[in-house]
Amino acid sequence: MNCPADWPEPIVRVQSLSETGNTMIPDRYIKPPSQRPCFNTRSDNLNNIPVIDLFGLINGDSATQKVVRDQISTACREWGFFQVVNHGMSPELVDEAREIWREFFHQPMEAKQEYANSPKTYEGYGSRLGLQKGAILDWSDYYFLHYLPSNLKDYKKWPSHPPFLRDVIEEYSKEIVRLGKLLLKVFSINLGLEESYMENAFGGDDNIGACLRVNFYPKCPRPDLTLGLSSHSDPGGMTFLLPDEHVSGLQVRKAGEWITVKPARHAIIVNIGDQIQVLTNAAYKSVEHRVIVNPDKERVSLAYFFNPKSDVLIKPAAKLVTSKTPALYQPMTFDEYRLFIRMRGPQGKSQVESLKSPR
Ligand code: OGA
Ligand code: NI
C-alpha cells in the first residue's frame, strides 16, 4: 500500500488563516469537546518531565557515567520523556537552528509554496497530517525533510532561503545524530543488552533514519477550541525536540493528566517512540503528547525523528522476552508501521496499542 499522490482537499495554510486577524476559527479546526485542551494543568517543578544533565555522561569517569545512565533509565521507564542539558551542542547552534526556521516561516507565502509537499513522501512545506477527507485539522504548518539515510537526503528539497539555512541544518543534524547514537548505547547498556544492540536493531551505523519536522504554530484567536498538534505517540524510534525558548505548548500525558512541559534553557526534549517501545517489549513507553496554541504568540519547534531503517523488522529484543514477560508485539517494518499515521493522522496511542499480540 502506498500513499496517494495528492491531498484529499485543497490545502489551507494555517499561517494565512492566522494572519486574517479573524476572531473565530474555521469549523475544520474545532475539536470535539472531549479533545479540547485544558489550561489549568499542573506545571510546577515536581510535575515537569525530568531534566538530565549529560555533562557527566560525556565527560565523566565510569562511576559518574553510571549515575547519569541510571537517571536516564528511570526517566525512560517512568516517563518516556525527559529533557537533556549540557548535551554537547553549543547554545548558539541551538538558538540559530530554531531562529533560522522562524525566518523561513516569516518569508512571503510564494517562497514557501515552492516547497509545497504531497502525501507521497511528506517532504517539504505542509499543513496537514493524514488523508481522511473531512478530518478535523490541527492549528499548525510544518516543514519536513530527510537527513539520513544519505540516499534520501536531497538538498533540492531543503529550503534555499534564508541563506545558510542548509548549513545550519547540516550542522544541527550531525549533532542530533551524535546524541541519538549516544542514547541508543545508553539504552542498550541500561537494558542489559550488548552496547551496540539498539544501533544494530535500527539497521546499523549507516542505515539509521533521521528526519526533521519543523512545526510552526501560528497565533490562534481560539486556543480553547483547537490544538496545534493532536494527541499522538511518535511512530519512530525516538524524538529530539527543540522547543521554543519563550512559548510553552507541549503537553505530556502522565497518569491520565496533561502536564505542560517547561523547557530548560537550551535543553533538548527526548521522547521514546513506538519502535523503541516495541524493541524493549514495553519496558520503555512511548507516551502520548500534544500541543496547545496561544492567542498572542506563535511557536516554533524542531522535532528530529531518529528512526530504524525503514525495511528492517522491529521486534522485542530476545533477552527481554521471558516467560514472565512474553513478547507483546509481532515483528513489523517501520515502513509498514508509519503508513498508519501518514494515512490517518495523529490518533493518540491507538496504533501501538492495537499491535499487542493477544495473550
Ligand atoms: C511532534 C511533536 C511537539 C512540539 O512533532 O511529533 O510532538 O512541541 N511536537 O512541537
Ligand atoms: Ni510528537
DSSP codes, 82-140: EEEES-SS-HHHHHHHHHHHHHHHTS-HHHHHTTB--TTT--EEES-S---TTPPPPS-
* CB 282, CB 80: distance < 8 Å: no
Question: What does the alpha-carbon distance between residue 127 and residue 125 come to, in Å, rounded to a whole number?
Answer: 7
Q: Is residue 103 part of a domain?
A: yes
Residue 354 placed within a domain: no
Answer yes or no: is 7 within a domain: no
Q: Closest ligand 1 atom, CA of 142?
A: 5
Residue 8 within a domain: no
For residue 297, give the amino acid letter.
Answer: K
Q: Is 18 inside a domain boundary?
A: yes
Domain count, the chain: 1
Domain at 311, CATH number: 2.60.120.330
How far does residue 247's CA lie from ligand 1's centre (Å)?
Answer: 13
User: Pocket residues for ligand 1 (CB within 6 Å)?
Assistant: 213, 215, 229, 234, 241, 243, 249-250, 289, 291, 301, 303
Q: Is residue 357 part of a domain?
A: no
How confident is the prediction along the chain (359 residues), in pLDDT tens digits per residue? 567 889 999 999 999 999 999 999 999 999 999 999 987 655 554 578 999 999 999 999 999 999 999 999 999 999 999 999 999 999 999 999 999 999 999 999 999 999 999 999 999 999 999 999 999 999 999 999 999 999 999 999 999 999 999 999 999 999 999 999 999 999 999 999 999 999 999 999 889 999 999 999 999 999 999 999 999 999 999 999 999 988 999 999 998 899 999 999 999 999 999 999 999 999 999 999 999 999 999 999 999 999 999 999 999 999 999 999 999 999 999 999 988 877 888 888 888 887 776 54
Domain containing 21 equals: 14-349
CA of 142 to the centre of ligand 2 (A): 13
- HSE-CB of 231 using CA atoms within 13 angstroms: 19
Question: Is 359 among the domain residues?
Answer: no
| Beta strand 81-85 pairing with 332-333 | unpaired
Ligand 2 centre and the CA of 322: distance in Å?
31
Residue 355 lies in a domain: no
- Nearest-atom index, ligand 1, CA of 244: 8
CA of 290 to the centre of ligand 1 (A): 7
Which residues are placed with Cβ below 5 angstroms of ligand 2, an ion? 234
